[in-house]
Amino acid sequence: QRLVAPTALEAYAKCPHAYLVERLLRVRPVEQPEEIITISPLDVGNLVHQTMDDFITEQADALPGHGEPWTGSQRARLLEIATANATEYERRGTTGHARLWDDERARILADLTWMLDDDDRVRAQRGARVRSSELAFGLHGADPVAIPVEQGTVLMRGSADKVDEARDGTLIVTDVKTGGTSSYKDLKDDPVMAGTRLQLPVYAHAARQLLGGDRAEAGYWFVRLGKRDRIEVVLDDDVERRYAETVGTLVASIATGLFPAKAPDSPDFGWVRCAYCNPDGLGHGEVRTQYERKRHDPALGDLVRLVDPESLPGALGSEGDA
């Protein structure tokens, strides 16, 4: 049985057509290093995640205990690892113009230093110790997480960015984010955000399954200057039920072969949000018009109710298109 990653299902929920082309057909946009002006947000995120994982993995035998801070030597070592990793990104030609990269690299190092400060603060409040970084499930021989759905069972794979453990045994699962919080503003109203936020519930399952324990909490940690915040996701029975229904709908839609091009509902300004809906960078208006017509097809009913609820009759913001 094929394993599926929560991030893959999130990508499908955002644009099924992009999922088909990128993940099934394996066609990706070509980037020319000489055209790169500055390091991409994706590479910034990868650099931060890689550095924290390298650091915590290296410190496995000297991780701080319950409520204890990172030491000065550990902080210095984090910056050494970050500098080495940043140099490797520069060698690959993905960091852009040298002067812009110098400034961005300094900001990344400052963010990593702040991450240890904030980690000290939160773990002191909770009396928590660091347990794991990039806790893998369904990978490297670790058991997958099984999610029961109406059609059967979905086996999921992935890795949780960071797991701490409070003195009472509660596992605290954290997903590190280097972007902003604006795209997470609807989490309180919809814990899966129309299928585009599926990581934390399964990460919590994985932590309980692999590390033991009955209780787990989960949250997003936004770590870049000007965007710093923490958003907790409540993991109750209603969320578990909503999560299973969402995963079931997405997996069933993929298996059925539903891959409409769900272009953004507003024009691209400044950057292309979906390269598969707007491959030439000139706009996705025609693709959006086609989607607005296709989404009323009964064959797409379950999928559209999940990923595009505002298009339903009577929904707030519904355009009432026909």
Sketch the domain layout of the chain as residue ranges: 31-126, 127-257, 260-306
Report which of 278, 317, 27 is spatially closest to residue 194, judged by C-alpha positions: 317
Strand-pairing partners, residue 158, are 137
Residue 159 CA, distance from chain mean position: 11
Contact 199, 218 (CB under 8 A): no
DSSP-derived 3-state class of residue 305: helix
Burial class (CB in 10 A: 0-12, 13-18, 19+), 73: exposed
| Contact in structure between 131 and 125 (CB atoms under 8 Å) | no
- The pLDDT value recorded for residue 102 is 97
- Give dist(CA 279, CA 286) in Å, integer: 12
Chain segment 217-232, per-residue pLDDT in tens:
999 999 999 999 999 9
pLDDT of residue 80: 99
**pTM for the structure as a whole:** 0.88
Would you state the pLDDT for residue 126?
95
As a residue count, the chain comes to: 322
Looking at the chain, the number of H-run helices and the number of E-run strands are 9, 7
* Per-residue tokens: 13: 């929920």
* Range 37-48 average pLDDT: 95
Q: Using a pLDDT cut of 70, give the percent of the chain over it.
A: 96
Q: Identify which has the larger pLDDT, 228 or 30.
A: 228
Beta bridge partners of 155: 146
Query: What percent of the chain has pLDDT above 90?
Result: 83
Q: Average of pLDDT values for 154-168?
A: 96
How far does Cα 250 stand from its chain's mean position?
Answer: 17
Residue 310 pLDDT class (50, 70, 90 cuts)? confident
- pLDDT band at 322; cut points 50, 70, 90: very low
Report pLDDT for 272. Answer: 86
Top-confidence residue, 314 or 181 = 181
Give pLDDT, residue 70. Answer: 98
pLDDT at 186: 87
- Report the pLDDT averaged over residues 114-120: 98
